[in-house]
């Protein structure tokens, strides 16, 4: 890897670390701003994933600065499973869906943040001239895609009831 390639990878890692740092704080804020106990736990788990990604990226950055190459021995931990029609919130959220403004906003913003991360990691993977770097960016994109799918599934489960209860008729 030449000096310019290394510089570009380091710039990409800084961008990725900032996004993971912001994602961690977003999900911690989400945990604090939901009244749903299961949602609090789910958002803390998502925050933990983002923090794990941040630490991974920081370790890769440090290794590149020190040794001029990525560490192919570093590994990301597996995504925690979320499933079902309510992967984030308890089913009881529907009893107060009319007032679930924080939760619905958190889902919408989280979906966009995850989509942005997926696109950024895929772009960084395509631009990387190193197979290890490309590989870990693709793996991170897959992790973020799992977060995206979880948030989207939860939003889809609640959207119609939320709109109906709040008399929102977009069409």
pLDDT in single tens digits along all 171 residues of the chain: 789 999 999 999 999 999 999 999 999 999 999 999 999 999 999 999 999 999 999 999 999 999 999 999 999 887 667 777 778 999 899 999 999 999 999 999 999 999 999 999 999 999 998 999 999 999 999 999 999 999 999 999 999 999 999 988 766
Is 65 among the domain residues?
yes
* Angle, vertex CA 58, rays to CA 18 and CA 140, nearest 5: 70
Is 110 among the domain residues?
yes
| DSSP state letter for 2 | -
Is 30 among the domain residues?
yes
Instruction: Please give the residue range of the domain that contains residue 101.
Output: 3-165
Its pTM stands at: 0.91
| Residues 156, 161, 165, 167, Cα dihedral to 10° | 60
Please answer whether residues 79 and 119 qualify as being in contact, where contact means their C-beta atoms are separated by less than 8 angstroms. no
Is 170 among the domain residues?
no
**Half-sphere exposure (CA, 13 Å, Cβ side) for 42?**
23
Please answer whether residues 46 and 26 qualify as being in contact, where contact means their C-beta atoms are separated by less than 8 angstroms. no
The residues near 46 (Cβ < 8 Å, ≥ 6 apart) are 23, 27, 30, 110, 147, 150
C-alpha to C-alpha distance for 107 and 152, rounded to whole angstroms:
7
Which CATH number does the domain housing residue 98 bear?
1.20.1260.10
Burial group, residue 170, by CB count within 10 angstroms (0-12, 13-18, 19+): exposed
Domain count, the chain: 1
Question: Which has the closest alpha carbon to 114: 142, 95, 94, 90?
Answer: 142
Q: Which pLDDT does position 86 carry in this prediction?
A: 78
């Amino acid at each position: 890897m030449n000096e310019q390639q290394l510089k570009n990878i380091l710039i990409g890692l800084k961008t990725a670390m900032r996004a993971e740092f912001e994602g961690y704080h977003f999900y911690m804020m989400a945990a604090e701003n939901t009244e749903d106990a299961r949602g609090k736990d789910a958002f803390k788990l998502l925050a933990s994933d983002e923090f794990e990604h941040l630490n991974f990226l920081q370790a890769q950055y440090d290794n590149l600065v020190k040794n001029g190459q990525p560490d192919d021995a570093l590994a990301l931990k597996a995504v925690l499973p979320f499933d079902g029609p309510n992967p984030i919130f308890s089913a009881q959220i529907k009893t107060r869906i009319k007032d679930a403004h924080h939760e619905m906003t958190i889902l919408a913003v989280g979906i966009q943040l995850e989509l942005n991360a997926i696109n950024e990691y895929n772009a960084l993977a395509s631009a990387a001239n190193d197979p290890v770097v490309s590989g870990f960016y693709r793996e991170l994109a897959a992790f973020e895609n799992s977060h995206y799918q979880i948030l989207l599934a939860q939003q889809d489960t609640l959207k119609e009831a939320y709109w109906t209860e709040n008399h929102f008729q977009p069409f």
